[in-house]
Structure 1
Amino acid sequence: MNNNLSKIQRLELDALKEIKVIAEKNDIKFFLRGGSVMGAVKYKGFIPWDDDMDIAVPRGQFEKLMEALKDDWSERFWLANYRKGDEIHAYFPRILVKENYRREEALPTNNHLGFSIIDILPLDGVPSTTIGRKWYKYHVMILRGMGAVFTRDVKDTIVIHSKKKQFAIDLLGKLGVKHFYTQNKIYDKLDNVYRKNKLDGAKWIGTITGSLFDKEMFPANYFGNGVSIPFEDTEFLVPNRYDEYLKQLYGKNYANEEPDHKKSHIEVK
């Protein structure tokens, strides 16, 4: 493994361990999400080429975690959140490396705030009917596209969009979204949409605000109470039915195949 990537992965793991300690003190549960679940299941740690981590936090506990991480909770890491005025250009909060430490360690940047290493997504209820989920999907898609208009010209931020998505974002920009809304107002609208479907008692739940979009809506029993499995030298919760979860996100052959394109948020040298 590239030495720089290995260093980044160790740092990400350190940050998540710090968050785990804070979460346990505050009776907060979180799950690994997406590629981090893949890493835990397939490699018992990081996917070899992965350069970020993702967690999902049930909505009520998500709010508690945001409160616990809003101030100076770490010597090396900090939480960027649009709600507290950070120009993060993302609905969901992110853990970043403090800039003085990033410079000392000669770490890269992957956005205009510095070096982002962990995405924190709320886990929300979603509509239980097929028609309801379709409407929900398109409502979220439009709002996410509107929010992305504001990020097009942000320097030093690596954005990964398909050509089709980028075309839609550019079209929304030409329609003058910026004349009617601020990015944070759009994120507030997204927040209202996500919160509308209560998590408690929901038959379907998900993290549709994530990168895989509508693939990230699941029957609630996929998550359940979670199961703790090894990840490097520690353990984290993953969805209870993680095999079905990963098959929905990455295809039925995820355990035996590697993607042709190994996504990276940085240029690892």
Structure 2
Amino acid sequence: MFISIENVFFSYDSVEDGQPVKNAVDGVSLTVEQGEFVAVIGHNGCGKSTLAKHLNAMLLPDSGKVYVEGDDTADENKTWEIREKVGLVLQNPDNQLVASIVEEDVAFGPENLGVPPKEIRERVDKALKAVGMYEYRLHAPYKLSGGQKQRIAIAGILAIQPQCIVLDEPTAMLDPSGREEVMSTLIRLNKEMGITVVLITHYMDEAVSADRVVVMDSGKVLTQGTPGEVFSQVELLKKHRLDVPQAAELAFRLKGCGVKIDRIPLDEEECAQMLLEVMK
């Protein structure tokens, strides 16, 4: 396996009403396979972003272990190796863009790793082409749309040549068009280039694109499985204040009205097929 999370606990050093704040991550055990696309969902404050920051040693467990290809994230001698393998993309792309020209921004990571200039040039061009932003290589990042900025941030991580990209709610600040740009990019990177993707999101329709969905609540893993397995548990998700994809919501309501539904659809196409079957 590529990433192994073993009984991890983590709490921030803060106190409320004289009492320590509860664990942000509370005994989580999880694995991520090479080439897998995993979506981690949950409401705000459930611990999913905190967990994401453990995957490239930005945060270290209070107890438990996180391993990346067998390397312990708590081993300071392995920190940079781990961060070369696992790149982290944050929610706000403006917080990750550091240069005044797009291609210079994408080159920032490899330069800091001491990559030779000729190879940096090759990496930058390849990364920008991978996210469909090569034609913008000489543009100023601040003039780009939110979706374009996020794709540049992803290109900056790709130029480091990681095996895995962890994205912490990368579409939270984007409009629907920007969200679609980023999601199509992630799906292509995963399916065509074999890059492992861990997507932290609160958009259920994005999680449908993953191979596996992990649901978190109160710092724990509530349930996990394929999108079909997870989103068929509509009552469980609603009990924990979570939404489901719109297609699944419609099927759930129809089922509640006595309509015979054999399976829960996940997207518009499956929903249309379900309605045709119901009408027959």
TM-score (norm: length of structure 1): 0.29
TM-score (norm: length of structure 2): 0.29
- Of structures 1 and 2, the larger Rg is shown by 2
The structure that is strand-richer by fraction is 2
